[in-house]
């Protein structure tokens, strides 16, 4: 998404309630022309030209397109999370980003592909790969810590059981041994 400077047009300086009404009018071009919008603003005590309305409409439409693109991206991420419940948000973001990158490359013409800088593409892919690797490593370390914590807790429980109730401990140990033999 491109970064935009703060707007300083005449319509941007209108009171919020009037600007909100103008936004609605701009979004319904079948009902209102730029001249209708100019007349409306003029009737409310402000002077603007049709070109000011056109520039404002162009900026507003651009913002709305950005919002739609963001909404579409979030919808795609949510779809991935629904399809694959084991995914977390990071993986879903990476999948959607990778898909969007491939889609952009596929949409390029042969000339655009020849003129494109492959290093730039690789540099854009590297953070994606790094994020996935970091996430995978974090998940592995987390599992290892859980396993260690479980082993320590299990050992402590067995020691407490052995001291508090040796008969229960003996029956439980025999049960575990039987389960292990049946599984193998």
Encode pLDDT of 75-134 as tens digits. Answer: 877 787 788 777 677 777 777 777 777 787 788 888 887 888 777 777 777 777 787 778
As a whole number of angstroms, the distance between CA 179 and CA 140 comes to: 28
154: tokens are 């299990």
Give the tens place of pLDDT for each residue, 25-69: 988 888 989 999 999 999 999 999 999 899 988 888 888 887 787
| 61 alpha carbon, distance to own chain's centre | 22
CA 92 to chain CA centroid, nearest Å: 8
In angstroms, rounded to a whole number, what is the distance separating the alpha carbons of residues 7 and 53?
13
Question: Are 80 and 92 contacting, i.e. CB atoms less than 8 angstroms apart?
Answer: yes
């Amino acid at each position: 998404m491109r970064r935009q400077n703060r707007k300083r047009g005449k319509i941007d300086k209108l009171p919020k309630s009037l600007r909100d009404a103008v936004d609605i009018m701009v979004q319904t071009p079948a009902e209102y022309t730029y001249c209708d919008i100019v007349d409306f603003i003029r009737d409310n005590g402000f002077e603007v030209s049709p070109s000011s309305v056109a520039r404002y409409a162009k900026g507003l439409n651009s913002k709305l397109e950005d919002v739609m693109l963001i909404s579409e991206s979030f919808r795609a991420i949510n779809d991935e999370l629904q399809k694959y419940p084991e995914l977390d948000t990071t993986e879903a973001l990476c999948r959607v980003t990778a898909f969007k990158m491939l889609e952009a490359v596929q949409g390029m013409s042969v000339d655009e592909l020849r003129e494109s800088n492959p290093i730039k593409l690789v540099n854009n892919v590297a953070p994606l790969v790094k994020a996935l690797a970091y996430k995978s490593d974090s998940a592995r370390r987390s599992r290892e810590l859980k396993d260690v914590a479980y082993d320590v807790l299990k050992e402590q429980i067995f020691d407490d059981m052995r001291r508090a109730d040796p008969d229960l401990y003996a029956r439980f140990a025999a049960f575990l041994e039987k389960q292990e033999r049946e599984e193998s």
